């Protein structure tokens, strides 16, 4: 009995030990499950910005080398902002993380999740705009700033490229559209700059009417189709001293057509003379799988119209020989996106293939080509528009009302802009350098006249503190002193004085020198310590400063880079260094 009792005590002790160990294991496992971190709060979708990089759905940042390890243990925590409102954040020990969707708006910074070497990473940026390397030294016949990167015609505030004038029509301040000299000069300068920086384009010749170029019907790479009731003949043009194609087709017919079948390039060009009403149309296969779109260039003054899958551009009477050059991609997208608002509607429709050219009515046709680019055609369209539209006062009046902001009187239609005058000069002197036509230089010289008159006399001159002469982009009352427009006007005056020479360019030289003195004296007024201001309304009106967006701040930097390449003033170097640092979060020292 004594042995049995001893054995039972030992067995009982072992059994209790086993039960205790099992309880400990079960408790540990349950405790591990109970400490799972709370579900991360959902982040709202960050809206894409026109100027910042496209945003992806934000993700919680990973810990380097954490593969296979337990996830960091976050706790949700309320973050009280300025004792005004609360946002949900996360806490990891002593670190607190705020949602980037909140950080982005509060600090006006930018970021996105991107791929790098197969891994995701978060890319943060203090600003969104780019400073371009200055080509030194700047020359009046060279690339204009960084304008080779401008695509003026693709801006959503460009209604279309006029078929009559060959230049953009702006809707920046009104949906009806108007010719804006600044935009037209920039259109010309951008294509001039592209022509200097891009390789020569591929050109396909389809019709030369017997000039011995190409094959296909003996004259070009295209085949003509002439339906019943239409005629197409080769005739000798005495004025051009060349053979041309003469077509005659009722408007109700299919028209004579030239097969193009080009899926590579989308700039079409041809010489045209109409003998009455007529049209030349281009049929396009697009990324939309249904029926093709047809772009019609018709003998009318209608600007642009859209009817189902037909887009119409008026090209005027064309009673004399002229060359029509059109960017079919732009013409298609402006037509499809046509609206009654200031902005052209966005569309994903793109041309895939230029199928054929169709001519109707009566007229003469020659030199049909399709090419990758036609930059000089666009440049000279802008240059010759400036020649035709300069008024007797030497300016290009802007025929739309402009209200710069509260406290400034509205500018009535017919006002001049120093920026328009300056960029027109930069365009015209380049046209003169290429052609040596005196008309281009003469127009540029006459453009100095508004610089000598104050705003109340329909000029563009203002005087700061009764001392410093300034050339106003917007000649408002009171003066506004817009910085970027002033520097563009100085570049134009520099281009003119350098091109015209000492005698003819004397007036431009004096205006330029006075302006540069003012710029050097007043530039510190535009520095905020973390960026720059667009104008001096805070001084003139006693209001809050009009801070320059980052794209305007980088424009200020790019302009100063250009000016510092022709004037090595230490002030410019100092400002360039400081203003570039602001793009990366730099700040001026505090007390």
Q: Is 577 exposed, middle or buried (0-12, 13-18, 19+ CB in 10 A)?
A: exposed
Lowest mean pLDDT, pick from 43-52, 260-269, 431-440, 554-563:
43-52
Report whether 426 contacts 495 (CB < 8 A): yes
Q: Provide the pLDDT for residue 211.
A: 55
> Residue 367: pLDDT above 60?
yes
Tokens 């006006």, residue? Answer: 108
> Residue 79: pLDDT above 70?
yes
**Choice between 217 and 25, residue whose per-residue pLDDT is larger:** 25
Q: What is the mean pLDDT of residues 329-345?
A: 93
* Token pair listed for 332: 């298609």
pLDDT in tens, 141-199: 999 999 999 999 999 999 999 999 999 999 999 888 999 999 999 999 999 999 999 99
What's the pLDDT band for 136 if we cut at 50, 70, 90? confident
Query: How many angstroms separate the CA atoms of 191 and 435, rounded?
Result: 16
pLDDT in tens, 186-240: 999 999 999 999 999 999 999 987 654 433 343 456 799 999 999 999 999 998 9
CA distances from 189 to 277, 427, 442, 492 (A): 34, 6, 19, 12
> Residue 66: pLDDT above 90?
no
**Choice between 99 and 175, residue whose per-residue pLDDT is larger:** 99
Which percentage of the chain shows pLDDT scores above 70?
86
**Choice between 87 and 28, residue whose per-residue pLDDT is larger:** 87
**Residue 414, Cα to own-chain centre: how many angstroms?**
26
What's the pLDDT band for 10 if we cut at 50, 70, 90? low
pLDDT in tens, 384-424: 999 999 999 999 999 999 999 999 999 999 999 999 999 99
- DSSP secondary structure string, 163-178? TTT-SEEE-TT-TT-B
Query: How many angstroms separate the CA atoms of 490 and 421, rounded?
Result: 10
Q: Provide the pLDDT for residue 340.
A: 85
pTM: predicted TM-score of the whole model, two decimal places: 0.85
pLDDT in tens, 431-472: 999 999 999 999 999 999 999 999 999 999 999 999 999 999
* Token pair listed for 456: 């109340």
Report whether 408 contacts 478 (CB < 8 A): yes
């Amino acid at each position: 009995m004594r042995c049995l009792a001893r054995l039972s005590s030992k067995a009982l002790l072992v059994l209790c030990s086993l039960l205790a160990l099992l309880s400990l294991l079960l408790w540990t496992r349950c405790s591990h499950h109970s400490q799972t971190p709370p579900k991360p709060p959902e982040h709202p979708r960050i809206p894409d910005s026109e100027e910042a990089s496209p945003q992806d759905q934000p993700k919680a940042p990973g810990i380097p080398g954490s593969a296979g390890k337990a996830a960091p243990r976050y706790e949700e925590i309320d973050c009280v902002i300025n004792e005004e409102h609360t946002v949900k954040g996360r806490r990891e020990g002593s670190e607190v993380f705020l949602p980037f969707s909140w950080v982005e708006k509060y600090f006006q910074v930018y970021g996105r999740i991107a791929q790098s070497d197969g891994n995701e990473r978060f890319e943060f940026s203090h600003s969104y705009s780019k400073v371009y390397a200055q080509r030194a030294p700047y020359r009046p016949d060279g690339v204009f700033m960084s304008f080779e990167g401008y695509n003026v015609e693709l801006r959503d505030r460009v209604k279309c490229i006029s078929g009559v004038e060959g230049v953009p029509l702006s809707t920046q301040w009104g949906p009806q559209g108007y010719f804006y000299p600044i935009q037209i000069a920039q259109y010309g300068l951008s294509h001039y700059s592209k022509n200097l920086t891009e390789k020569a384009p591929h050109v396909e010749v389809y019709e030369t009417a017997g000039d011995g170029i190409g094959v296909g019907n003996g004259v070009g790479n295209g085949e003509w189709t002439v339906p019943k009731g239409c005629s197409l003949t080769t005739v000798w043009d005495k004025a051009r001293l060349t053979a041309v194609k003469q077509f005659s087709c009722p408007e109700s017919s299919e028209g004579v057509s030239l097969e193009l079948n080009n899926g590579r390039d989308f700039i079409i060009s041809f010489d045209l003379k109409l003998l009455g009403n007529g049209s030349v149309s281009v049929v396009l296969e697009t990324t939309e799988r249904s029926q093709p779109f047809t772009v019609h260039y018709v003998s009318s003054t209608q600007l642009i119209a859209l009817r189902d899958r037909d887009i119409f551009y008026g090209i005027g009477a064309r009673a004399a020989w002229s060359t029509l050059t059109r960017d079919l991609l732009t013409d298609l997208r402006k037509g499809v996106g046509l609206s009654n608002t200031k902005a052209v509607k966005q569309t994903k429709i793109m041309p895939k293939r230029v199928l054929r050219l169709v001519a109707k009515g009566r007229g003469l046709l020659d030199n049909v080509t399709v090419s990758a680019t036609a930059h000089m055609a666009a440049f000279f369209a802008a240059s010759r528009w400036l020649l035709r539209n300069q008024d007797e006062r030497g300016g290009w009046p802007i025929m739309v009302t402009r209200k710069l902001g509260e406290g400034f009187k509205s500018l009535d239609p017919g006002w001049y802009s120093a920026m328009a005058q300056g960029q027109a000069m930069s365009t015209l002197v380049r046209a003169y350098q290429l052609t040596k036509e005196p008309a281009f230089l003469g127009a540029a010289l006459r453009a100095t006249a508004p610089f000598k008159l104050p705003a109340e006399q329909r000029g563009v001159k203002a005087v700061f503190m009764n001392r410093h002469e300034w050339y106003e982009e917007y000649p408002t009352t009171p003066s506004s002193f817009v910085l970027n427009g002033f520097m563009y006007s100085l570049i134009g005056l520099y281009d003119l004085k350098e091109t015209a020479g000492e005698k003819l360019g004397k007036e431009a030289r004096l205006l330029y020198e006075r302006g540069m003195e003012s710029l050097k004296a007043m530039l510190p007024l535009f520095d905020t310590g973390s960026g720059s201001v667009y104008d001096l309304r805070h001084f003139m009106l006693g209001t809050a400063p009009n801070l320059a967006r980052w794209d305007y701040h980088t424009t200020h930097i790019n302009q100063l880079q250009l000016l510092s390449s022709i004037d090595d003033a230490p002030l410019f170097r100092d400002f360039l260094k400081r203003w570039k640092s602001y793009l990366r979060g730099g700040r001026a020292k505090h007390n």
